[in-house]
């Protein structure tokens, strides 16, 4: 009976618009029902990875809600799934209690302090102590639960007492064993990170437009769609077993060896320290090798090897007494936050940027730092006028580490409207976007990107800005319509330079399909995804445009979310540009 009723409801829902005349009350009920159902299916699909309906059925529910909201705008719910992709999904990740608290590590910043700590441990225990020295991976912590050798749950650190269940996302980590070599029940902890080479060799800059690799790894584990997490090249080292270890006499080194034999990835640079005098040597060796490592580290961790001694030493409320981290000296400085501005990318993403009182770090003067998004600012409690500590991550990327002194009464909040075109900004996931395709900053960004990828001579940002202001260009196809008269008034453009520019333009027409598509800057289509489509037989723009989301989503390596971005990316403006470029002789 219930099943029959369900089909009757679905039949009524999917009747064409106008078949049933909806009054206000019935429309309100239907909108609430659809919103609840879509939210439930989002949870089943994105969080649990257990969809109950097909993509097509989901789209029908979603499209029906969009239609009703347009017809009855006064009935739109504040948390409507049509307003914010993935809205509130992170808040409904189930919480997982840690069997033992995931504590922080006490830190030392000098070798002498670390050695003093090790000496003190020996004096307290009145025993010769052996230590395990490990690299301190600059990633994000994870806890993994196995039953009978099978991964059943994965959790973030959270507040140390409990974290979010991110099992579906963790399963995408290729070095994480889903099934162990033996049917053991065990809980382990590790660090999720991203190898530098995976980013450099990906050829897909669009997928990695974020700050540090640590932030990227943490963000990937919290993505609402595990198919999107799968595209981030996450890696893993296991560093601790919480429970399930056979025998009480196994020390930490033997446990790591046992975990390795089960199939867990263990850092091969771990080293047993037999004598306290060897601690400084391990630190020096690690510091020298730091720049050539394929992952980021920010220090070392020294742990007591013997588990019985660990239990005797115990923990404080914040950290274990049997371990100590040594932090490499960071390039850092203290300065003031003078302002926060909003940058708009070529894809419309609004990113807050800190304007700092210029300060010297190393050999560079730093006056700006990306603030990523509102959540990042909220976590810091950052406001204009605050005194902050600035750190250069990896000695390159400037990052505001913390607020040292509050000089503002409130935390900065993202403006409601785009600062360049005054269009109302939209929330999509954890980021904010300007939806106006003709926004000046987006136009400038798209044209600069196109010129760079097409390797057109002399078309730098300054020249493009000048041509935009003179209304000579607005879209990529306009480059190919520029006349000598349009150029001769520009500073430095004589007849010889104009001829070189035109030659470069003609040469750009010889670029292959994949280069031109990349140059158009369509969301979801970086080099990697373009080649996936090309290898699947999509070797022209028209073939992609004529496809639909269902077909694209079925291609291995694309998935539903990326397919949605691609379909959305080929908007009427882009299609118009493609046709114009084809008329100019480009191979699309």
Q: Which residue has the tokens 């007494």?
A: 321
CA distance 211 to 368: 13
Indicate the SS3 state at residue 316: coil
CA distance 26 to 9: 13
The neighbouring-strand residues paired with 303 are 132, 323
Token pair recorded at residue 200:
């450099």
Q: Which of 350, 473, 373, 355 is nearest to 422 (CA)?
A: 350
Q: Are the C-beta atoms of 303 and 132 separated by less than 8 Å?
A: yes
Token pair recorded at residue 406:
């509050």
CA distance 414 to 502: 43
Active site residue 453: no
Helix segments in 421-494, DSSP class H: 440-453, 461-469, 484-488
Say which of 6, 70, 126, 136 is annotated catalytic. Answer: 136
Q: How many CB atoms lie within 10 A of CB 370?
A: 18
Annotated binding site for NAD(+): 104-105, 134, 157, 191, 303, 327
Q: What is the 3-state secondary structure (H, E, C) of 178-208?
A: CECCCCCCEEEEEEEEECHHHHHCCCCHHHH
Q: What is the DSSP string of 507-554?
A: HHTTS-HHHHHHHTT-TT--HHHHHHHHHTT--SHHHHHHS-HHHHHT
Q: Which residue has the tokens 């618009």?
A: 17
Residues 6+ apart with CB under 8 A from 527: 202, 203, 204, 205, 514, 518
Token pair recorded at residue 46:
């994105």
Residues 6+ apart with CB under 8 A from 291: none
Q: Which residue has the tokens 């961790």?
A: 301
Q: How many CB atoms lie within 10 A of CB 303?
A: 21
Integer Rg of the chain from CA: 28
Question: Which residues are known to be catalytic?
Answer: 136
């Amino acid at each position: 009976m219930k099943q029959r009723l369900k089909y009757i409801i679905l039949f009524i829902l999917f009747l064409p618009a106008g078949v049933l005349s909806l009054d206000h009350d019935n429309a309100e009920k239907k909108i609430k029902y659809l919103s609840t159902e879509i939210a439930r299916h989002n949870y089943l699909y994105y969080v649990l990875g257990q969809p109950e309906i097909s993509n097509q059925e989901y789209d029908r529910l979603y499209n029906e809600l969009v239609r009703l909201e347009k017809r009855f705008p006064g009935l739109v719910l504040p948390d409507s799934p049509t307003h914010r992709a993935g809205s509130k999904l992170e808040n409904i990740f189930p919480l997982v209690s840690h069997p033992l608290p995931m504590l922080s590590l006490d830190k030392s910043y000098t070798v002498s302090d670390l050695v003093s700590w090790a000496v003190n441990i020996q004096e307290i225990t009145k025993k010769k102590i052996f230590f395990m020295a490990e690299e301190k991976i600059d990633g994000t912590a994870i806890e993994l639960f196995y039953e009978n050798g099978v991964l059943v749950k994965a959790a973030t650190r959270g507040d140390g007492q409990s974290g979010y269940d991110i099992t579906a996302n963790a399963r995408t980590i290729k070095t994480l064993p889903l099934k162990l070599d033996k049917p053991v029940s065990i809980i382990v902890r590790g660090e999720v990170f991203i190898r530098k080479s995976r980013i450099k060799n990906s050829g897909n800059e669009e997928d990695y437009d974020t700050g540090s690799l640590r932030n990227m790894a943490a963000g990937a584990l919290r993505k609402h769609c595990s198919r999107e997490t799968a595209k981030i090249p996450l890696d893993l080292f296991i560093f601790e077993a919480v429970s399930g270890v056979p025998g009480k006499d196994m020390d930490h080194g033997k446990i790591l060896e046992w975990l390795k034999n089960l199939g867990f990835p263990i850092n091969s640079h771990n080293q047993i320290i037999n004598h306290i005098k060897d601690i400084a040597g391990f630190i020096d060796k690690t510091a020298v090798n730091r720049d050539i490592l394929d992952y980021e580290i920010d220090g070392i961790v020294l742990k007591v090897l013997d588990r019985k001694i660990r239990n005797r030493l115990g923990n404080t409320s914040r950290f274990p007494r049997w371990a100590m981290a040594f932090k490499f000296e960071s390039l850092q400085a203290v300065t003031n936050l003078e302002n926060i501005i909003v940058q708009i990318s070529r894809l419309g993403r609004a990113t807050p940027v800190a304007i700092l009182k210029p300060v010297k770090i190393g050999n560079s003067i730093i006056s700006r730092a990306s603030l990523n998004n509102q959540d990042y600012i909220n976590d810091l409690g950052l406001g204009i006028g605050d005194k902050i500590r600035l750190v250069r991550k990896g000695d390159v990327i400037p990052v505001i580490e913390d607020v040292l002194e509050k000089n503002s009464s409130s935390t900065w909040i993202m403006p409601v409207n785009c600062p360049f075109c005054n269009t109302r900004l939209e929330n999509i996931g954890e980021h904010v976007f300007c939806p106006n395709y003709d926004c000046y900053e987006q136009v400038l960004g798209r044209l600069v990107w196109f010129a760079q990828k097409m390797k057109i001579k002399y078309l730098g940002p300054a020249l493009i800005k000048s041509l935009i202001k003179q209304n000579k260009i607005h879209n990529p196809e306009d480059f190919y319509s520029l006349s000598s008269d349009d150029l001769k008034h520009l500073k430095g453009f004589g007849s010889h330079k104009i001829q070189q520019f035109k030659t470069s333009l003609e040469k750009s027409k010889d670029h292959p399909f994949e280069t031109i598509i990349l140059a158009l800057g369509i969301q979801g289509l970086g080099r990697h995804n373009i080649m996936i489509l090309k290898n699947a037989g999509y070797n022209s723009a028209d073939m992609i445009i004529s496809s639909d989301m269902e077909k694209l989503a079925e291609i291995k390596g694309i998935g539903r979310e990326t397919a949605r971005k691609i379909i959305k990316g080929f908007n009427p403006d882009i299609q118009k540009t493609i046709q114009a470029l084809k008329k100019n002789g480009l191979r699309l």
